[in-house]
Amino acid sequence: MLDGENSIIKKAIQGEASAFGLLYDFYQPKIYRFVLIKVGRREEAEDLTHQVFLSAWQNVSHYKDLGFPFSSWLYRIAKNQVVDYYRTSKATMAIEEVDPNYFAVPASAQFGLDDSLRLEQVRLAIQTLDQDYQDVVVMRFVEDLSIKETAAAIGKSEGAVKLIQHRAIKKLKEGLIK
């Protein structure tokens, strides 16, 4: 969470562009990463991320703190932009087409070949999941959102997110054991 985020959000709601700029600077890399995982191409991810923040800026005056973080509101906009992207462009990009380097282990990490192969197996197993399952796995374990934040972002109850997460992990385990 951004220091003083609530006061920054209030200023952004009042139309202060510099306050929204601070929110953009803080959340843009996270939203971009989420969108990139979903669409797989950097150019499209950059365009969609731009659209997310343009939509957020145009609608920030309608944002209301209902107990969910501002980030959940942004992730919901991002999820909707991705859905619209696939609906309107009939794009066929799937998670398996994402640049494999995105999932690469940093050089500073001390992983062996077995660990790298295991990460690749996990990435491939994620591809087999239903869209809702992928969304929850990415938001919970890549973006490190809480159950509450994830629920707000995908428009489901916390119980539904827990169930989806449980089922997704079960399917991932089944896929990795084969």
Domains of the chain listed by start with CATH number: 1-94 (1.10.1740.10), 105-178 (1.10.10.10)
pLDDT for 97 equals 55
DSSP string, 51-119: HHHHHHHHHGGG---SSS-HHHHHHHHHHHHHHHHHHHH-----GGGS-GGGGPPPTTS---HHHHHHH
Residues in the chain: 178
Which of 95, 79, 101, 96 has its CA nearest to residue 154?
Answer: 79
Segment-wise mean pLDDT, segments of 10 residues, the chain, 178 residues? 85 93 95 88 94 95 82 92 84 52 53 65 79 89 88 92 94 82
What pLDDT, on a 0 to 100 scale, did the predictor assign at position 76?
92
pTM of the complete model beyond 0.75: no
CA 75 → CA 37, 70, 103, distances in Å?
13, 9, 20
* Percent helix, strand and coil across the chain, each to the nearest 5: 75, 0, 25
